[in-house]
Structure 1
């Protein structure tokens, strides 16, 4: 499990690139005071640390007293942000618009009203081109203030035009906010609970979606209004496991960026997330060819200048591209060859440890555990599953549950029968407590309890019987969630035929794609 520091100043310093560190030093030296020299000393000391340790910091830097540390840290934090602010970032549209708004206010304070209005016109023009509604509305409101206080005579019918523009921008922003709120709340549901677990969950999420979806949402043609509508339907379909709905709106999400390529630069993280969701849709629907096409497209984008323009884009691109690469091995049944990318993933998790959220790390660990399990290395699978089980977080109860279930099956594969009786009871209690027991899981637990008392011939018959039972539930929307997390059918087939799991999945892939047997 990667160590994570909660000290904000330390995280900020560790996020800086060499050029940014050099710029900070030059920034401080311009108007250096004795207190500024101490902040530079603190900066260098923190930069040398691998992990934040206040006691070690003070011990190595005796000039810095404990009672001074809090104020020095606050001062240093502000100085670093100020030094970063003056670095020109031509890729950041929001910073450019903010800068223009600042210029407009400076000109206004100087009494240069017409120059201020001229700058606001540029803000409005750029904001409109790049669908930045909040900046457009800010510029319009400031323009109203100037026109209300001074007779500028800058344009005929200024009052009527301004009133109409403000009303239109406000209306669009209201719709965008309502849809983005809906999308965020649906995403929060998924992060905390995963897919709908039963009929009660399905009814609750349907009622919530229908009562919060604005009636006129489909009438708005702005980029972000459409985007948040698509995003809301994506999460709604995914939670309900309506995979065709999920796929359709993921495709609309990505298509919107393809139709307006400038928006890939304006909001790169949203484009990256769209590619990820489209990849995931093809993965769960087992659209092999389309999955590979989108993965190739993502790989190309991953190496582009835009994807590497800042740390946030780099981190998000890594997370979602490598999730896709892992999924490709699951689709193809190439588990053993997939193990080769694990060191690279581990290295990147270490590199980005202060910038990756815990949820993403947990997903990586689960997928890596599945890769080891599929390749037959149950001990390594258990090692990664233990990282999830022992990491006390309140995220993804579904992931916590299925990690425990796979952990149990891995011990079964290893023949650790002395542990199994305890584990079966423990995992069953946990999943019941989390309200995560479906008919599929109940059948698996029933089989495992019975298996302790069966001989080899009886066990094989029990595997065949369990497979027949579970296959009835595969297309049931309330039960399909279990198969999305754990391909239990392929595992059962491997036990029945006495071959590795990856061989079963490889054969399924060959059959589905018409690949000739080698």
Structure 2
């Protein structure tokens, strides 16, 4: 029995909506011969009824299909499903629409109707320009040049027409190349964060600065850049400031990224994934800055966009919206300190989560679990917090970002301390110490917290307040370093200490 995730056809069929399945059957009945159509529908229906892929059960239900022919039939069915989906998505994706028109132009050209092909290319070129489809724009120009070079079109009778075409082609070629370079640079800076995490000291800052300066492509002022050139530049700048924990500068870059969609509103519909991604990272930055007013304003923008466009979003976009919007809503509760309202959202998220599992990275699921745990911790429901923390900790470490794993381990210890499970703390602390000793990225605040949790578990109740006061002083000293600010991003230990001391914490 093959696993469903390993069978591409089965996974594709299971991803289809009712409307897409209905469209496929109409497509097959219309374009295929009757005999082949019946085989397609029978195999399609048999796979659609399975809960997981079972090839033996397929042969049992379709005995007339020979094992020798199944692979070819599945391959052809896979192709036909994609073709039927293309007919639907062409109305939603401008790049698919433009490519289809380019294909039509090639058909006309192949029929010898090159003047008609040129007229069609002229028309779709304007659509490509309006929707910032730089690569397709260049492809159209290259096709126009090919026709002009090989046929008598009398274009030179129109003043400067050929010169304008060649100049436009050169300019678009340069823009496309520069956009690609900035896209590469964006991925490189993000990759630096994935590999190294936040800057931990001055040496890290200098290394990042050198890397950034050596790799950033030369570019003019943003006002002269195209939409996607600016989008990639702003993202790279955002990641650079994020790594350095400079959230004010990070906010400016993320805000400039979001503003691109204010300047070109149609791009919200044409590239909703990029728009939602820009909103999410601006919200994350505002969350770290504790700017509750601005956070609420942009969260309303996100919710309004999803409410008005949810029906037009494809499966991938709906997954992105589910993750980014719900994480942002949970962050809103953490930001305001309204843990009870946050806890009330958990059941709905858990109910919806299985719908997106096939398209959801495991890290995203565990990030939800960490938010759940933190909300339960904030509302003093420590046992429930531990349930989600254990799910994170028991997962193989390689699947997790190191900082999320460390924060989960420390929050687990704090929950046990709050529950008075001191004997269990003595058992768990050495395991955390071993994990920290092997880790590359453990902050001074995290090590100090672990040290004090071990000490606090041994103290009689009458001495804990004085110990917390001393712990608070040491934390304050450690937090003077700007590189320790990352310790507060997902686990605000100083706020917990203030709460234990009866001081109102500013979350």
Q: TM-score category by the smaller chain?
A: over 0.9
Query: Distance between the aligned counterparts of 1:428 and 1:62, measured in 2?
Result: 60
For 1:168-221, what per-residue CA distance to the aligned partner results, in whole angstroms no more than 9, with x for missing partners?
Answer: 011111111111111122223334554234444333322221111123253532
Structure 2 residue 140 is matched with structure 1 residue 135: no
Structure 2 residue 164 is matched with structure 1 residue 161: yes
Which residue of 236, 241, 250 maps to 1:237?
241
Aligned counterparts, 1:470-481, within 5 A: 470-474=475-479, 476-481=481-486
Structure 2, unmatched stretches of 5+, are none
- Larger displacement relative to structure 2 (96-105 or 49-58): 49-58
Partner SS for 1:86 = helix
Task: Give the structure, 1 or 2, with the largest relative contact order (CA under 8 Å, sep 6 or more).
Answer: 1
- CA distance 1:424–1:56, shift in 2 (3 Å): farther
- CA distance 1:307–1:180, shift in 2 (3 Å): farther
Please state how far the C-alpha of 1:470 moved relative to its aligned partner: 1.0
The answer to whether the 8 A contact 2:4-2:53 is kept is no
Structure 1, unmatched stretches of 5+, are 510-518
- CA distance 1:51–1:489, shift in 2 (3 Å): farther
Please state how far the C-alpha of 1:397 moved relative to its aligned partner: 2.1
Please state how far the C-alpha of 1:244 moved relative to its aligned partner: 0.6
For 1:4-28, what per-residue CA distance to the aligned partner results, in whole angstroms no more than 9, with x for missing partners?
Answer: 8343222221221111101111222
Partner SS for 1:478 = helix
Match of 2:10 in 1: 10
Query: Distance between the aligned counterparts of 2:249 and 2:336, measured in 1?
Result: 25
- CA distance 1:71–1:431, shift in 2 (3 Å): farther
Which residue of 326, 330, 341 maps to 1:326?
330
Match of 1:348 in 2: 352
Match of 1:145 in 2: 146
Aligned counterparts, 1:88-487, within 5 A: 89-155=90-156, 156=158, 157-218=160-221, 220-305=224-309, 308-392=312-396, 393-474=398-479, 476-487=481-492
- CA distance 1:5–1:189, shift in 2 (3 Å): farther
Partner SS for 1:352 = helix
Query: Distance between the aligned counterparts of 2:4 and 2:428, measured in 1?
Result: 30
- Larger displacement relative to structure 2 (381-390 or 73-82): 381-390
Please state how far the C-alpha of 1:353 moved relative to its aligned partner: 1.3
Query: Distance between the aligned counterparts of 2:448 and 2:325, measured in 1?
Result: 35
Query: Distance between the aligned counterparts of 1:483 and 1:313, measured in 2?
Result: 31
Count of matched residue pairs: 500
Aligned alpha-carbon RMSD (Å): 2.3
For 1:117-169, what per-residue CA distance to the aligned partner results, in whole angstroms no more than 9, with x for missing partners?
Answer: 11111222111111110001001111111111112113444443232112101
Query: Distance between the aligned counterparts of 2:103 and 2:278, measured in 1?
Result: 33
Query: Distance between the aligned counterparts of 2:399 and 2:220, measured in 1?
Result: 33
- CA distance 1:367–1:52, shift in 2 (3 Å): farther
Query: Distance between the aligned counterparts of 1:188 and 1:482, measured in 2?
Result: 21
- CA distance 1:64–1:432, shift in 2 (3 Å): farther
For 1:73-116, what per-residue CA distance to the aligned partner results, in whole angstroms no more than 9, with x for missing partners?
Answer: 32221110011112364331111111111111111111111111
Match of 1:28 in 2: 28
Query: Distance between the aligned counterparts of 2:59 and 2:332, measured in 1?
Result: 49
- Larger displacement relative to structure 2 (31-40 or 105-114): 31-40
- Larger displacement relative to structure 2 (414-423 or 74-83): 414-423
Please state how far the C-alpha of 1:468 moved relative to its aligned partner: 1.6
Query: Distance between the aligned counterparts of 2:103 and 2:299, measured in 1?
Result: 41
For 1:30-68, what per-residue CA distance to the aligned partner results, in whole angstroms no more than 9, with x for missing partners?
Answer: 313545433322322222233444455555555555554
Q: Give the TM-score of the pair, scaled to structure 2.
A: 0.92
Q: Give the TM-score of the pair, scaled to structure 1.
A: 0.90
Query: Distance between the aligned counterparts of 1:382 and 1:59, measured in 2?
Result: 46
For 1:202-245, what per-residue CA distance to the aligned partner results, in whole angstroms no more than 9, with x for missing partners?
Answer: 33322221111123253532111111111111111111111011
- CA distance 1:81–1:445, shift in 2 (3 Å): same
The answer to whether the 8 A contact 2:155-2:162 is kept is no
Query: Distance between the aligned counterparts of 2:392 and 2:313, measured in 1?
Result: 32
Query: Distance between the aligned counterparts of 1:335 and 1:287, measured in 2?
Result: 18
- Larger displacement relative to structure 2 (67-76 or 117-126): 67-76
Query: Distance between the aligned counterparts of 1:418 and 1:60, measured in 2?
Result: 58
Query: Distance between the aligned counterparts of 1:463 and 1:146, measured in 2?
Result: 79
The answer to whether the 8 A contact 2:306-2:321 is kept is yes
- CA distance 1:406–1:59, shift in 2 (3 Å): farther
For 1:394-433, what per-residue CA distance to the aligned partner results, in whole angstroms no more than 9, with x for missing partners?
Answer: 3422212222222232233233333323322222222332
The answer to whether the 8 A contact 2:4-2:10 is kept is no
